[in-house]
Structure 1
Amino acid sequence: MKNRTGLTCTALLAACALAGCGYLPGTGDGTRTVTVWLMKGSASDGFVKRFTSEFESGHKNIKLDVRIQEWGGIGAKVTSALRSGDGPDLIEVGNTQVAMYAQSGGLRDLTLESVRDLGSKDWLPGLADPGSIDGAQYGIPWYAANRVVIYNKDLFRAAGITEPPKTRAQWIKDTGQLNQAGRQGIYLAGQDWYTLSGFIWDEGGELADEDAGNYTGALDSQAAIRGMDFYKQLQDLGRGPKNADEAHPQQAGVFARGDVAQIIAVPGTAQTILKSNPQLKGKLGFFPIPGRTAAKPSAVFTGGSDLIIPDKAHDGDAAVEVVEALAGRKWQTELARTMSYVPNKTTLAGVVNGDEGTAAMAVGAARGRATPNSPRWAAVEADNPIKPYMTEVLTGQDAATAAKKASRRLTDELVDR
């Protein structure tokens, strides 16, 4: 997941060499060992132990060797493993990273398994779409997370607002009403481009258009400009910096002061807020980012992870069995409830109904999207032209002119070199 908001190579590689990161041979009795790389923080130690124990009990001829990886430097490490054939049999990757790895030609095509055994028709689009390259499914959705609105229930009540808004128009009205009540209606930083992306998609626009694998920046379309216009309306009602993103300063700390009514963030941010200000315990609520109509919430950026199998995996067939278990109903339910994630299928959204924040996230996830499925998108984010574009519009520059300039920069970054 990015930011991995949303992600030491030398030390990791050295440790890997000592431990033997490649295939671990069987014991001579027909047992196969599947080496799995999972990312730090994606699953608790307890989940990994429970899954390993139960999977091995049901698959007497397969042993799991699960190795936790750091996000820092993982791109180079995975790419090297795919090329060498000496890496693991199964790898967790960020959903928007699949295209980059697929470009190397080192991934196993899992299209047959995804259709036959994994019920792909119900997958969340924000996980499934970036895992699909040129019609082939290389990434199998594992879990998702996306932004919701976290709000202060006491401030809403004090302003006479009895329920969360379900439309953009009502959201704008309620936020203005919160301001009139003497509180800050919303904190929204000027360069929160993930949130902007959702507004652009909700209007029918795109960050970039694709044609036969070639991408062209599309921030200057009328739909994309409408999305930016709504972002500006909302940001104008708050007091966030126009030239910084949500991490500068950390918006959780701003909200924790107790006088800000709303922020847009993943539900897990609530734990950071409560750590800073325990007096807010019991006062935090969550609702999906409102859409243009009450019929459906806004589109949102989906972060999360997919599972990939190297084409040169020593035991790819056994790795497929592990993927089928991790992506199946039982362990999707277990992971979602353990980690407060959205499970990989829309039909499983109900398993998190007991958690207000995750339930709100699951509603939005049904309309989740990922960034353009270009292997060069990581280069875009390294020097993201969307951020200065947002600042230019928020500080009064002409939106159409700024959008054209940003679109040209996006196109230049996305050219396949």
Structure 2
Amino acid sequence: MRKLTAALAAAALAAVATACGTGNGGGGTGALTVWLMDGSAPQEWLDELNAAFEEEHGVRVDVEIQQWDGIQDRVTTALSEDGTVDVLEIGNTQTVGYAGTGGLAGLSGLEDEPWNEPMLASARLDGTLYAVPWYGANRVVVYDRAIWREAGAEVPATRKEWLRALETIEENTDAEPLYLPGRSYYVMGGFVADEGGGFAVEEDGRWKGALNTPEGEAGMAFYARLHSFSDAPADNDEASPQQSTEIVPNRPVASWIGLGWEAAAAIEAIGERGQEADFGYFPVPGPTADRPGHVFLGGSNLAVSERAGDRELAEAWVRTATSARWHQRFVDAYDGGVVPARTDVTARPAEGSFAEAMVASADAGYLPPLTGGWSYVETEPNPVKDLMTRVLNGADYRTAAAEADTEITARINRD
């Protein structure tokens, strides 16, 4: 999540946010200290927001830009101390974990805003709101228009049509129809969600792995069918090697599944080779044409520290930053390239852009299990990734999934 959020922002805007002030921490300093992640906030938007807030409330806002590397340790320390931070940005898959430690303040005063429901789920714990959504992002299918024209393939709206298009490309061109690494488990999770399943389920207050199910098997089977059109190894993921810069620019690839920053990186890399990319974009297709396939909806939330110097003022900053007025300006600053956190804010991406396909997918967004223990599951060796590689190499799905579920259950319930 942390990589997705930072990278999306870097691709969406050329300007990278920098600190608005040095600050000495929150509480008792006459300033409000806000931690935002490198690349998350458009600078002009941030400057104008803080100028308006400072004028209204008579307090200085010190924004301290944080790097993603090592951020979990820094946030954990900051939330255990007085006077370090008042407002902070947190990755949406990390929010529940921090809330569970008691480090985040409840935000009941912001309950009634028109939040994007899939994004809002990541901000709650046991019915209490501990953060609010800020923005989201998800993957789409990136395709080479020239190769698809050569093959006579049509942009699909369903899984069946998608497979037919890949078959057409395979039959009529020398290009790789779809580059799909064997271990892109967030992509596979979307197919499981299409079937009504998930990585894990909660029963009687305890989580357990849920891949050894008909839904899990069907999702993995579709992933394997797609992977049959790819030359990617079964033991690689999308970052090793980096698909956008190390694979796509170096061989004829008809399509791949990626994020906005990856599409931008691929365009740049192709340009450096003296060529011009001609990409089109479409949502990951679902089983039927009336709804796109499920996609992992990454993003960031805004939270208030339980130890904030002035929690009421900190909540006021969050309320202002995510208000309809300021959030619309935030989304517009990204040219519609982020998924809005509010239903009364509209993304207005350019026709035919990556952002247009991404926003069209947002209502089918899904999240992994919202529990602090999920971070242990994602730690390498990731049992979901290992399951995928084993199955793609011919292992029996049920046997491999049962072993993966045992490992997921053991990890996800750790304190």
Please confirm whether the aligned pair reaches a TM-score higher than 0.5, indicating the same fold. yes
Native 8 Å contact 2:267 2:277 kept in 1? no
Question: Is 1:236 the counterpart of 2:228 in the alignment?
Answer: yes
The SS at the match of 2:32 is strand
Which of 18, 25, 30 is 2:29 aligned to?
Answer: 25
Q: Deviations over 1:241-283 (max 9, x none)?
A: 1011011111113112361011101122121111111266461
Which of 408, 411, 414 is 1:410 aligned to?
Answer: 408
Which of 97, 100, 103 is 2:100 aligned to?
Answer: 103
Partner in structure 2 of residue 319 of structure 1: 314
Question: Is 1:174 the counterpart of 2:165 in the alignment?
Answer: yes
Q: Deviations over 1:33-90 (max 9, x none)?
A: 2210000111233332232223334x14232111101112211221222222222110
Which of 213, 219, 223 is 1:221 aligned to?
Answer: 213
The SS at the match of 1:204 is coil
Native 8 Å contact 2:286 2:293 kept in 1? yes
CA 1:159–1:347: 2 relative to 1, 3 Å: farther
Question: Is 1:197 the counterpart of 2:195 in the alignment?
Answer: no
Question: Is 1:79 the counterpart of 2:79 in the alignment?
Answer: no
The SS at the match of 1:272 is helix
Question: Is 1:378 the counterpart of 2:365 in the alignment?
Answer: no
Which of 61, 66, 70 is 1:64 aligned to?
Answer: 61
Distance of 1:5 and 1:332 partners within structure 2: 17
Distance of 2:205 and 2:297 partners within structure 1: 22
Q: Deviations over 1:324-359 (max 9, x none)?
A: 122122322222233321111345344335572112
Distance of 2:23 and 2:108 partners within structure 1: 32
The SS at the match of 2:235 is coil
CA 1:43–1:320: 2 relative to 1, 3 Å: same
1:23: how far off? Answer: 2.6
CA 1:301–1:343: 2 relative to 1, 3 Å: same
Alignment map for 1:348-387 (pairs within 5 Å): 348-354=345-351, 356-383=353-380, 384-387=382-385
Q: Normalising by the residue count of structure 2, what TM-score does the alignment of the two structures yield?
A: 0.90
Partner in structure 2 of residue 292 of structure 1: 287
Question: Is 1:338 the counterpart of 2:338 in the alignment?
Answer: no
Partner in structure 1 of residue 85 of structure 2: 88
1:25: how far off? Answer: 2.5
Partner in structure 2 of residue 269 of structure 1: 262
The SS at the match of 1:67 is strand
Native 8 Å contact 2:23 2:33 kept in 1? no
Partner in structure 2 of residue 248 of structure 1: 240
The amino acid across from 1:320 in the alignment is: E
Distance of 2:93 and 2:390 partners within structure 1: 27
Alignment map for 1:29-44 (pairs within 5 Å): 33-44=31-42
The SS at the match of 1:363 is helix
Partner in structure 2 of residue 52 of structure 1: 50
The SS at the match of 1:277 is helix
1:178: how far off? Answer: 0.9
Partner in structure 1 of residue 391 of structure 2: 393
The number of aligned residues is 394
Q: Which moved more, 1:265-274 or 1:390-399?
A: 265-274
Which of 130, 134, 144 is 1:138 aligned to?
Answer: 130
Distance of 1:396 and 1:303 partners within structure 2: 31
Distance of 2:395 and 2:212 partners within structure 1: 14
Q: Which moved more, 1:207-216 or 1:166-175?
A: 207-216
Distance of 2:406 and 2:384 partners within structure 1: 11
User: Matched residues, percent identical?
Assistant: 34
Native 8 Å contact 1:267 1:286 kept in 2? no
Partner in structure 2 of residue 259 of structure 1: 252
Which of 144, 148, 172 is 2:140 aligned to?
Answer: 148
CA RMSD of aligned residues (A): 1.9
Distance of 1:177 and 1:4 partners within structure 2: 32
Distance of 1:280 and 1:173 partners within structure 2: 29
| Structure 1: gaps spanning 5 or more residues | 8-17, 27-32
The amino acid across from 2:293 in the alignment is: S
Partner in structure 2 of residue 14 of structure 1: none
Partner in structure 1 of residue 3 of structure 2: 3
Distance of 1:35 and 1:24 partners within structure 2: 11
The SS at the match of 1:34 is strand
Question: Is 1:283 the counterpart of 2:278 in the alignment?
Answer: yes
1:195: how far off? Answer: 0.3
Moved segments of 4+, more than 6 Å: none
Q: Normalising by the residue count of structure 1, what TM-score does the alignment of the two structures yield?
A: 0.90
The SS at the match of 1:43 is coil
The SS at the match of 2:94 is helix
1:188: how far off? Answer: 0.1
Native 8 Å contact 2:78 2:85 kept in 1? yes
1:179: how far off? Answer: 1.3
The SS at the match of 2:105 is coil
